[in-house]
A and B are shown apart, each in its own frame.
Chain A
Amino acid sequence: MLKHRTRQTLLLWCFLAPSLAIFLLYRVMPVVWNFVLSFQYWSPLKPAEFAGFDHYEDLWYDDVFWQALWNTLLVIASAPIGIALALGLALLVNAEIRCRDVYRTIIFLSYPLMTVAVAIIWRWMFDERVGLINYVARSLHLVDKPIPFLNSFTWALPSVIAANIWQMLGFYMIILLTGLQSIPHELHEAAAIDGASSWRRLRSITLPLLRPSIFLAFVVGMLNSITSFDLVYVMTGGGPGRATEILVTYIYKLGFVQTKFDEAAAVTIVFFVLLIVTAWAANRLAGGNAGAAEIE
């Protein structure tokens, strides 16, 4: 019995090995590099000197950092909106209707499009003078003055978030659909025979079994604060002022525009800790184990 158990555990670790190796090389080691760097003074052309907590202290007094942090939190908080919309779409697309494939394809269309194209088009759509949204709003007499979306300090970030949700809807939908389709049909049929309404079935069967996928979608939504770099950078560059500056654009600017890799490393570590804490909290909310029951 014991030998079999150990052998099985060993086998499981072998299964994990390739993925672990890749993450070790390309994620864990870079984090360690950043961690070490955040305590040093370093530039590509000079040797490193110990800096203690200087960089973290600089961040504490850095207005831009706090603004970027706040914006990042807003981006993370907007993830549930996209997920809720996508869940609705996934449920609709999962229903027994004709042309389901067509709808699914159309909704997914935005995701494979290069982010640069998405950014340029949405930038134009939000344009105050010549943009489509303002054009339509004014043609329909919804507003009499054009709305300064990307020129306004209050509307810039919501506009970027809207473009981001547009791009990500298809992606969220796919994750949720995958989860929906692994729920056995028999459960639904049995419940229907027992007389449960669609709504009841949704609440008692679908949503609980969908928890791992929803948790996953939330993690993806959280990571939007990282992966939306291209979108923010091309759409607004972090402006106007710092209204759309998020931590990841700030990291890039510090590192590659201002050549201050050590400060960028400090911001990276702070960002990393923030995300870990949020993910851990989400994991607890989902009931631990990334939302699923365990096989022994």
Chain B
Amino acid sequence: MNRYPRWPIHLALIMASFVMLVPFYWVAKTSVSGENIYAYPPSIIPTRVQPFFYVDVWYAIPFARYFLNSLAVSVIAVIANVIFNAMAGYALTHGFRGKNVVLMLFLSCMMVPFQATIIPAYLITGKLGLLDSWLGLALPQCSTIICIFIFKASFDAVPRSLIDAARIDGLPEWRIIWHIMMPLSTAAIATNVILAFIWSWNNFLWPLIMTRSADMQTLPLGLARFLSYQEDTTGALYAFCIMVLAPGLLLFLLAQKEFIRGLTSGATKG
């Protein structure tokens, strides 16, 4: 057991936490007080606290419907991501002809800004007949290269002895993935789930371009309602941002347990 003083670690982490929390505190503070952030001097304690901005948000936009749309799209994206990315990550841990080409292709696919792909992506989705639908909304995000590489990095760390033993036992490849690699990579799965969810949940530009009917809009599109030329938008705006933040955060808290489980049970097997 290593003996080293814990308190410097705590100190460093507390300082880091403070820096991370300060802007966040301001978002939360303004969401309950609605004060003008351009007043000077800035007040640390919120004045005129009231929770009605959250109520405003609920009624100002069809919150429940937008929430449902966002949820459906994100669930599709997360499930697809975990399955497709694990498969691709596993394939990339092997050597095969054309592997480097595929690797470079994957890397280069990331290098194109979404803004430059809007029009062709829209036309392609139209040709597929998927405009204004959950699947169409989720499709571009059903696999992400960063997450493929996360799986690859995690699979790369699995000891070869385990895989060789399984092969000798005659296990088919997909079984290897499912029964050996995945349980050892719960951290990677958790990361995949969190990231895929956040990217899909917060995505603004694609649903904006892609949806026309009012009942297919996703939650971030409701943002426009609070950034408009209106009186008193600031409190509602931040309340809205907190409400959009909540599910992602919740998911992170839940998935955190997987992190810990991966740490304690994973690598000591074998």
A residues contacting B by CB (< 8 A) are 8-9, 11-13, 15-16, 18-20, 22-23, 25-31, 33-34, 88-89, 92-93, 95-97, 99, 101, 103-118, 120-122, 124-125, 127, 129-132, 135, 166, 169-171, 174-175, 177-179, 181-186, 192, 198, 209, 212-213, 216, 219-220, 223, 226, 229-230, 247-248, 251-252, 255-256, 261, 264-265, 268, 271-272, 275-276, 279-280, 283, 289-296
Contact = CB atoms under 8 A, between A and B. Distances in A.
B107 A226 contact: no
A88 B19 CA distance: 15
A212 B21 contact: no
Given A34-B116, A105-B253, A182-B267, A22 B156 contact: no
A186 B269 CA distance: 11
A279 B94 CA distance: 21
A105 B115 CA distance: 31
A22 B113 contact: no
Contacts of A271: 111, 113
B97 interface: yes
Given A135-B42, A229-B114, 19 more contacts: A8-B94, A29-B124, A34-B120, A105-B256, A106-B17, A112-B245, A115-B202, A135-B40, A175-B146, A182-B266, A186-B268, A212-B156, A223-B110, A223-B111, A256-B115, A261-B119, A272-B108, A272-B111, A295-B93
B171 interface: no
Contact of A23 (B40, B105, B156, B187): B105
A290 B150 CA distance: 11
B142 A109 contact: no
B55 interface: no
Report whether over half of chain A's contact residues are helix, strand or loop; otherwise say mixed. Answer: helix
A287 B109 CA distance: 21
Interface residues of B, number: 106
Contact of A132 (B26, B85, B238): B26
B153 A185 contact: no
Nearest to A44: B119
Contacts of A20: 88, 102, 105
B116 A268 contact: yes
A145 B7 CA distance: 37
B68 interface: no
